[in-house]
Amino acid sequence: MTLTYLSLKPEQPIRTGGIKIGGGYLDTQDYLPGSVVRGALAEWLKLQGLESQIRDTVSRLRFGNFFPSTDAQLWSLPFPTTAVECKLHGGFKTSPGSEGHGIRDTLLAAVAYSELIKSGARFPVPFLLRCLEAKHRDQPEICYGRLERVAGYYIRRDGRYSQIRPEEVLQTKVALSRHRRAAREAMLYRVVALAPGLRGEGTPLYFVGRIWTQEPSLIDRLCQAVSEVGVGGLTTRGFGRVTCSTATIAVKPLAQRLRDFNAKLASAWQELAELANQCGAAVSSSPHGSYFSVDLLSPAHLTDGDGLPTLRLVLSYQGRDLEPIWWSAQSAYLGGFSTAWGLPKPSALGVAAGSTYVYRVDGNPEDLVSWLENLEHQGVGLRTDEGLGEVLICHPFHEEVEPV
């Protein structure tokens, strides 16, 4: 399948649904799920009188999720669950005007620590990280603040990191009586949506995501569909209008991400191994085999051998099950509403976006590239055609072992 990046520029507020807190309050998600774009294509085909082609057209496309960005040619990524920041002074150090102590990723250090423990190493202290930055730039006193998980999205431009925080807008509306054609008493409801621009910056907001297709000509059809129909909910009430275009995204090749991942892991491994050897444990100073991570860019619907929900991602490699040696995952509620059915979608327990799994195999990293590329294209778990189970192999932020 051919990979294409699409950029959607909102012209109106966008509401993509979420868990309903109450009947009079409609919340939104902070990204565009692939199922929303998929539904827009199906609705457009229906309006064109091509309802019989919906199943065949949709089956030839796989929809990734669209994440908020400041540029149509810049793909933002969600933070993995292993990314942390100082609780007292959060934020990137490299962002313009930021006083944050930096954001770092703990996965490689945690994997090296865990693997060394399995090989018999003993450390004088447990694995615990604190902020070692100065409290203020003009004061030498160390912060020692607790590190907490970072949520949201980030971009990297010209070597500098920035967080993306879409702005939410609130609109209050009134329900109308179809019989009286007037407002109904005590039937106000509030709609939360994403504004077309970023908070306090006057910068346009874009949503950039991945589409896999067997026929590149379907991309033009998809762009026409979302531009005419809109995306998300309430498209007939002033929400969801977007303009669509293809994007050229510079992404580090998978083979290079895999090599950099193993090189950074070897560096962290060596430092911890030297500490373990000082404590009297004779352990290897370098890892054996090839390691890689599978990072969820969207929620995933995973099941075990009995069909029951699970948080553990087991891969199939060379005819055998490949278990993760280390993983960090959170649960998520999977649901939604199908406009085609006019009914809610089946609800299930899933794995939240940002969850990450680490695996080890014997051999060189180059031997894994073809298999891992296919895994990225196919996704993991069930309902991948709806945007669930989108993955990125060796998330580039895992390389940021030191605060940035």
Q: Where residue 34 sits, what CATH number does that domain have?
A: 3.30.70
259 phi and psi angles, rounded to 5 deg: -65, -45
Query: Encoding tokens for residue 261?
Result: 């991942």
In a domain, 22, yes or no: yes
Same domain, 27 and 124: no
- Kindly state whether residues 267 and 214 are assigned to the same domain: no
pLDDT value for 19: 66
Tell me, what's the pLDDT at 200?
58
Q: Which two tokens stand for residue 213?
A: 């297709």
Judge whether 102 and 86 are in contact, CB under 8 Å: yes
Identify the weakest region by mean pLDDT among 13-22, 267-276, 282-291. Answer: 13-22
Do 216 and 70 lie in a common domain?
Answer: yes
- Give the number of C-alpha atoms closer than 13 A to the C-alpha of residue 163, restricted to the C-beta side: 19
Note the pLDDT of residue 311.
Answer: 95
Q: Which pLDDT value is given to residue 337? A: 72
Q: Are 387 and 211 in contact (CB under 8 A)?
A: no
User: Do the Cβ atoms of 23 and 242 come closer than 8 Å?
Assistant: no
One DSSP character per residue, 235-270 reads TTTT---EEEEEE------HHHHHHHHHHHHHHHHH
Band the pLDDT of 365: cuts 50, 70, 90. Answer: confident
CB 50, CB 234: distance < 8 Å? no
Boundary residue ending a domain (227, 247, 267): 247
* Mean pLDDT along residues 301-319: 93
Q: Is residue 87 in some structural domain?
A: no
| Domain annotation covers residue 84 | no
Task: Out of 247, 281, 300, pick the residue that ends a domain.
Answer: 247
**Is there a single domain that holds both residue 371 and residue 392?**
yes
- End-of-domain residue from the set 247, 280, 313: 247
Residue 344, domain member (yes or no)? yes
Q: What does the alpha-carbon distance between residue 128 and residue 88 come to, in Å, rounded to a whole number?
A: 17
Give the DSSP per-residue string, 355-393: -EEEEEESS-GGGGHHHHHHHHHH-SSB-GGGTTT-EEE
Asked if pLDDT for residue 201 goes beyond 60, the answer is no
Counting Cβ atoms within 10 Å, is residue 273 exposed (0-12), middle (13-18) or buried (19+)?
Answer: buried
Residues 56, 45 contacting (CB under 8 angstroms): no
Task: Please name every residue paired with 177 in a beta bridge, in sequence order, or none if there are none.
Answer: 182
Same domain, 170 and 68: yes
Query: Exposed/middle/buried for 3, CB within 10 Å: 0-12, 13-18, 19+?
Result: middle
Check pLDDT > 60 for residue 17.
Answer: yes
Per the model's pLDDT, the better-predicted residue between 18 and 82 turns out to be 82
Q: Are residues 227 and 327 in the same domain?
A: no
If asked whether residues 270 and 334 sit together in one domain, one would say yes
Looking at the structure, do residues 328 and 365 belong to the same domain, yes or no?
yes
Query: Is the domain of 396 the same as that of 332?
Result: yes
83 within domain boundaries? no
Distance of CA 151 to the CA centre of its chain: 10
Q: Residue 293 is part of which domain span? A: 92-150+253-404
Residue 389 lies in a domain: yes
CA 264 to chain centre: 22
What pLDDT was estimated at residue 23?
63
Residue 158 lies in a domain: no
Contact 381, 334 (CB under 8 A): no
Assign 202 a pLDDT band (cuts: 50, 70, 90). low
Of 346, 309, 350, 308, the closest CA to residue 329 belongs to: 350
359 shares a domain with 261? yes
Quote the pTM value. 0.90
Do 265 and 363 fall into the same domain?
A: yes
Residue 156 lies inside a defined structural domain of this protein: no
Closest CA to 14 of 234, 175, 165, 340: 234
How many domains is the chain built from?
2
Encode pLDDT of 210-261 as tens digits: 999 988 889 999 999 999 998 988 877 778 899 999 999 989 999 999 999 9
Task: Give the list of residues 6+ apart from residue 315 with CB closer than 8 angstroms, or none.
Answer: 294, 321, 322, 359, 375, 380
Do both 34 and 56 map to the same domain?
yes
